[in-house]
Chains A and B, each alone.
Chain A
Amino acid sequence: MSTSDHLRLAVALSDAGWHPAAWREADARPGELFTARYWADLAAIAERGLLDLITIEDGFGLQSTDHLAESDRRTDQVRGRLDAHLVAALLAPLTSRIGLVPTVTTTHTEPFHVANALATLDHDSLGRAGWRVQVSARADEARHLGRRALPGVRREHLDTPETARVVQELFDEAADAVEVARRLWDSWEDDAEIRDDATNRFVDRDKLHYIDFSGDHFDVRGPAITPRPPQGHPLVTVLAHREVPYRLAARSADVVFVTPQDVDDVASVIGDVRAAEAAVGREGEPLRILGDLVVLLDHTQAAAQERLARLDARDPLRSDAAILATTPSDLADLLVAWHEAGLDGFRLRPGVLPDDLNAIADALVPELQRRGAFRTAYDDTTLRERFGLSRPASRYATAGSTA
């Protein structure tokens, strides 16, 4: 198997893990969730496992048992969050190879700040930054900012025309936000800084560009304040389960995280993603498709199942992604099979931190390596390159040279 056939492996970090009872496990560190040390330790484990990237969850509202719902005032689950982008920035100098992909909403943020912040994360990490683009439909999050009113989206009304309109608008705004970010990343050509003593010019102003974006929710003039990042564009990712977010991914992203429920579902999900790409007329590289899976790992199948049952008895786990309680070896077989079914790789959501992250790094990864399905060392590349993506040229440089 050649390197390009290797599956990509990401891990999604959230709180004490994705299982709501994870924080009560023996090795859990719930009192440290809001410290640098906790996140540094998790990133070190992920890097030890040679993983391609970590994502960091975020939101402008407290966690809730239903992520679409308002804060539920429960006190028996983890509540409270750090800003994911700043956690990623903290991790940049503490890691050297792993991709750092914070979740940043497009609904309540300023695209200009977000674009400069992600470009800076890419500078600070020497080409390892990504962005998990997220929208927020929650009414309580809108009230936190007070800038716009959102009706809120209820799970049971997802298919009503009114909800569909709201969701479509949020995703259109997200697409605009990514478009603005990409234009801002292009607004400085790579060699704009010239430091030319002879003419006393620090920059060549012909290589700085106004982007003059105008959309339904914001206008942005540009150029960026931060020079073009090392990757050209940080890696843009989207989690998607349905047609509207598939289209956002197809229009805007480099990588899409999807949630097939079993191996038979893989082909159909990939078909939906490719259909969305065709529908929006995507040009250039096709989306890299990673399957999301919640994983709880143990030495035997029975022990893993027992572990999940024990946690579920405290607080049941529900997920948009398939939940797998199994052994590292069986999981490796499954990942290889799903990879052969067409997925480029996986974003694993550890049920319990740090336990399942340790199992991924120290047991699952060696199993995958034995099967020839995963790298045995980091290659010396940027995050984009690791996904086989080229470094985009500035669109304005192209425009300039043809003018």
Chain B
Amino acid sequence: MTRKQIILGAYFPGVNHDTVWSDPASGSHIDFASFAHWARTAERGKLDLLFLAEGLRLRDRGGAIFDQDVVGRPDTFTVLASLAAITSHIGLAGTINSTYNEPYELARKFATLDLLSGGRAAWNVVTSSDADTGENFRRGGFLGHHQRYSRARETLELVRRLWDSWGSDAVVADKDAARFLRDGDVGDFAFSGEQFDVSGRFTTPRSPQGHPVILQAGESPSGRDFAAAHSDAIFSRYQKFDEAKAFYDDVKSRVAKAGRNPDEVKILPSAAVVLGDTLDEARDRHAEIHHRQVDPQTAIVLAEMVWNRDLSRVDPDGPVPDLDPTPDAPKWIRGRAPLTQDAHATAAAWRELGREKNLSLREVVKHVFDRAVFVGTPESVADEIDRYVRDGATDGFIVGSHVSPSGLDEFVDRVVPRLVDRGVFRSEYAGATLRDNLGLAPPARFGEPRRHDSSVAS
């Protein structure tokens, strides 16, 4: 019997404390050559997709730009379109905010990316409640939590309507009959909701996937329901086996409750991988990398994200501080996703962990922020990845490392072949589109039977 196939993606190591820019192997985070190397490596490994994160303002701390982590990133759409030119099979997933983009423009850009890439576009839909990011945009302020989700829901609905506004057969291009479009209603749409009241004709033909693949991250119960109802795949941060399995079971049951087949939504946690020739070597390497990821200053900054106050006088090698968090004060660190919903509870848990295991603040932070799920030999890491998928904790992983652009090389060269040998990962791309490769059916739409949609253009 054919074993269930693992989905593998790769995220570009960018703006986060996991990226060790001081590593001698660390290259540019901006130059296209870095993205090209990373993408070619991933495609050499026959991975499913590439994944770019987002940040629409530079982070600051106490009113000054935070200068210790990697700062700056290129525009996501632009990089993905350039990567479309030099790759031919791999999916191109971009994190794009629904709060600071208009649906019409989003629909055009993703349809264009899908057309130019021959059906490889994916959109990781995120929202923002960050008033500071709003300072860079016309909207100016920010949307409250409720409005933010209402805008996200309407954005997705409207974008899908725009993608559906051109039939698969809308472009006739019949020179002899002087007929370019099938009819004069191609692209017509109208939408009226709480957030948008728009109408007209969409400019861009239906793309090879019909609807580019939709990814979401769901954390809160309402976020999980939203993702279960609307997404093709869910990007998760639950990595340890038990928590991954709990998340997987919870979300798949929400997918079923939303009236969908649980297989229609893939769960993909992020996972950093550290390899060694022996288990000990891998552990040593991981310890060294993690030591550099959470240096004393970073430990303080990560604690400040929980406490929401200046902790620069706290000794990172001393105990977790007894100071009270001040979650209601003006934000001390801006431009990063919040770490916790309940600062007091998190601070208490950190203190408890420190007391219980006799750990310093820095050691507690290292414990909490260890994203290297897979530390071992290529053989043992392949075993673990296989086990997670076989035992129903995940459908696959989005893997990353602490250096760009070469951090993926080892994984592709040493782990992927072992997964192929086990028969749980492809040795050649089977499908033409990302949807095909992920095992997702083409989107159904009103008036058209569900079927494999051949591009009008490719």
Alpha-carbon distance A188/B74, docked complex (angstroms): 13
**Least CB distance, B53 to chain A, in whole angstroms:** 12
What is the chain A residue whose CB lies nearest that of B180?
A78
What is the chain A residue whose CB lies nearest that of B184?
A73
What is the chain B residue whose CB lies nearest that of A315?
B178
Which residues of chain B have C-beta atoms less than 8 A from A205's C-beta? 64-65, 67
Q: Decide yes or no: A30 and B175 within 8 Å by CB, A108-B105, A200-B297 being known contacts.
A: yes
A284 within 8 A of B: no
B198→A74 contact, CB < 8 A: no
Which residues of chain A have C-beta atoms less than 8 A from B57's C-beta? 221, 225
Which residues of chain A have C-beta atoms less than 8 A from B30's C-beta? 123, 226-227
Alpha-carbon distance A80/B200, docked complex (angstroms): 13
A28 within 8 A of B: yes
Which residues of chain B have C-beta atoms less than 8 A from A281's C-beta? none
A164 within 8 A of B: no
Most buried by A among B84, B184, B196, B457: B457
* Other-chain residue from A124, A200, A314 in contact with B178 (beta carbon distance below 8 A): A314
A219 within 8 A of B: yes
A113 within 8 A of B: yes
**Least CB distance, B209 to chain A, in whole angstroms:** 14
A145→B104 contact, CB < 8 A: yes
B56→A112 contact, CB < 8 A: yes
What is the chain A residue whose CB lies nearest that of B197?
A146
Alpha-carbon distance A205/B81, docked complex (angstroms): 31
A60→B186 contact, CB < 8 A: no
Alpha-carbon distance A187/B178, docked complex (angstroms): 51
Interface positions, chain A 141-159, Cβ under 8 Å from B, are 141, 143-147
Which residues of chain B have C-beta atoms less than 8 A from A73's C-beta? 184-185
B102→A108 contact, CB < 8 A: yes
Which residues of chain A have C-beta atoms less than 8 A from B203's C-beta? 59-62, 80-81
Size of interface on B: residues with Cβ below 8 Å to A: 76
What is the chain A residue whose CB lies nearest that of B79?
A120
Size of interface on A: residues with Cβ below 8 Å to B: 81
A31 within 8 A of B: yes
Interface positions, chain B 81-111, Cβ under 8 Å from A, are 81-82, 84-86, 100-102, 104-105, 108-109
What is the chain A residue whose CB lies nearest that of B69?
A202
A87 within 8 A of B: yes
A123→B74 contact, CB < 8 A: yes
* Other-chain residue from A91, A117, A222 in contact with B136 (beta carbon distance below 8 A): A222
What is the chain B residue whose CB lies nearest that of A25?
B175
B201→A71 contact, CB < 8 A: yes
**Least CB distance, B245 to chain A, in whole angstroms:** 36
A113→B101 contact, CB < 8 A: yes
Interface string of A331-366 (1 = CB under 8 A from B): 000000000000000000000000000000000000
A219→B456 contact, CB < 8 A: no
What is the chain A residue whose CB lies nearest that of B35?
A124
Q: Decide yes or no: A94 and B58 within 8 Å by CB, A61-B203, A124-B79 being known contacts.
A: no
* Other-chain residue from B22, B75, B166, B456 in contact with A120 (beta carbon distance below 8 A): B75
B31→A123 contact, CB < 8 A: yes
A23 within 8 A of B: yes
B67→A218 contact, CB < 8 A: no
Query: Which of A2-10, A32-40, A289-297, A392-400 lines the interface with chain B?
Result: A32-40
B198→A219 contact, CB < 8 A: no
Which residues of chain B have C-beta atoms less than 8 A from A283's C-beta? none
Query: Which of B112-120, B257-265, B386-394 lines the interface with chain A?
Result: B112-120
A309 within 8 A of B: no
A223 within 8 A of B: yes
Interface positions, chain B 275-299, Cβ under 8 Å from A, are 295, 297
B429 within 8 A of A: no
B179 within 8 A of A: yes
B457→A60 contact, CB < 8 A: no
Which residues of chain B have C-beta atoms less than 8 A from A87's C-beta? 81, 112, 116
Interface positions, chain B 379-429, Cβ under 8 Å from A, are none
Interface string of B173-209 (1 = CB under 8 A from A): 1010011111111110000000011111111110000
Q: Decide yes or no: A116 and B75 within 8 Å by CB, A31-B457, A79-B186, A124-B32 being known contacts.
A: yes
Which residues of chain B have C-beta atoms less than 8 A from A82's C-beta? 112, 115-116, 204
Interface string of A209-250 (1 = CB under 8 A from B): 000000001111111111100000000000000000000000
A264 within 8 A of B: no
* Other-chain residue from B67, B81, B196 in contact with A202 (beta carbon distance below 8 A): B67
A76→B178 contact, CB < 8 A: yes
A273 within 8 A of B: no
Which residues of chain A have C-beta atoms less than 8 A from B202's C-beta? 144
Q: Decide yes or no: A61 and B22 within 8 Å by CB, A120-B79, A123-B31 being known contacts.
A: no
B67→A36 contact, CB < 8 A: no
Alpha-carbon distance A82/B206, docked complex (angstroms): 11
B85→A202 contact, CB < 8 A: no
Which residues of chain B have C-beta atoms less than 8 A from A370's C-beta? none
Interface positions, chain A 266-286, Cβ under 8 Å from B, are none
Most buried by A among B56, B84, B203: B203
**Least CB distance, A216 to chain B, in whole angstroms:** 11
What is the chain A residue whose CB lies nearest that of B117?
A36
Alpha-carbon distance A94/B84, docked complex (angstroms): 10
Q: Decide yes or no: A40 and B78 within 8 Å by CB, A24-B175, A80-B205 being known contacts.
A: no
**Least CB distance, A75 to chain B, in whole angstroms:** 4
Which residues of chain B have C-beta atoms less than 8 A from A218's C-beta? 137-138, 140
A89→B171 contact, CB < 8 A: no
Which residues of chain A have C-beta atoms less than 8 A from B31's C-beta? 123
Q: Decide yes or no: A110 and B115 within 8 Å by CB, A75-B182, A92-B32, A200-B295 being known contacts.
A: no
Which residues of chain B have C-beta atoms less than 8 A from A299's C-beta? none
A34→B71 contact, CB < 8 A: no
A90 within 8 A of B: yes
B327 within 8 A of A: no
B242 within 8 A of A: no
* Other-chain residue from B70, B81, B171, B187 in contact with A62 (beta carbon distance below 8 A): B187
B220 within 8 A of A: no
Which residues of chain B have C-beta atoms less than 8 A from A308's C-beta? none
B115→A34 contact, CB < 8 A: yes
**Least CB distance, A306 to chain B, in whole angstroms:** 19
Which residues of chain B have C-beta atoms less than 8 A from A117's C-beta? 75, 77-78
A83 within 8 A of B: yes
A135 within 8 A of B: no
A201 within 8 A of B: yes
What is the chain A residue whose CB lies nearest that of B187?
A62
A119 within 8 A of B: yes
**Least CB distance, A99 to chain B, in whole angstroms:** 16
Q: Decide yes or no: A110 and B75 within 8 Å by CB, A31-B171, A200-B68, A221-B136 being known contacts.
A: no
Which residues of chain B have C-beta atoms less than 8 A from A34's C-beta? 115, 171, 204-205, 456-457
B200→A144 contact, CB < 8 A: yes
* Other-chain residue from A121, A145, A197 in contact with B102 (beta carbon distance below 8 A): A145
B55→A225 contact, CB < 8 A: yes
**Least CB distance, B230 to chain A, in whole angstroms:** 21
Alpha-carbon distance A85/B82, docked complex (angstroms): 11
Interface positions, chain B 1-53, Cβ under 8 Å from A, are 21-22, 30-32, 36
**Least CB distance, B135 to chain A, in whole angstroms:** 4
What is the chain A residue whose CB lies nearest that of B57?
A225
**Least CB distance, A179 to chain B, in whole angstroms:** 15
* Other-chain residue from A28, A32, A221 in contact with B457 (beta carbon distance below 8 A): A32
Knowing that A34-B204, A112-B137, A225-B55 are A-B contacts, what are 11 other residue pairs whose CB atoms are under 8 Å apart, sorted by A's residue number?
A25-B175, A76-B178, A82-B112, A93-B85, A93-B86, A110-B138, A113-B75, A117-B75, A123-B74, A124-B74, A188-B72
Of the A-B pairs whose beta carbons lie under 8 Å apart in the complex, a sample of 24, sorted by A's number, is A30-B175, A33-B173, A36-B84, A39-B116, A74-B184, A80-B205, A82-B116, A85-B78, A86-B77, A89-B81, A90-B85, A116-B74, A202-B69, A202-B71, A205-B64, A208-B58, A218-B140, A219-B140, A220-B136, A221-B57, A224-B72, A225-B75, A226-B30, A227-B72
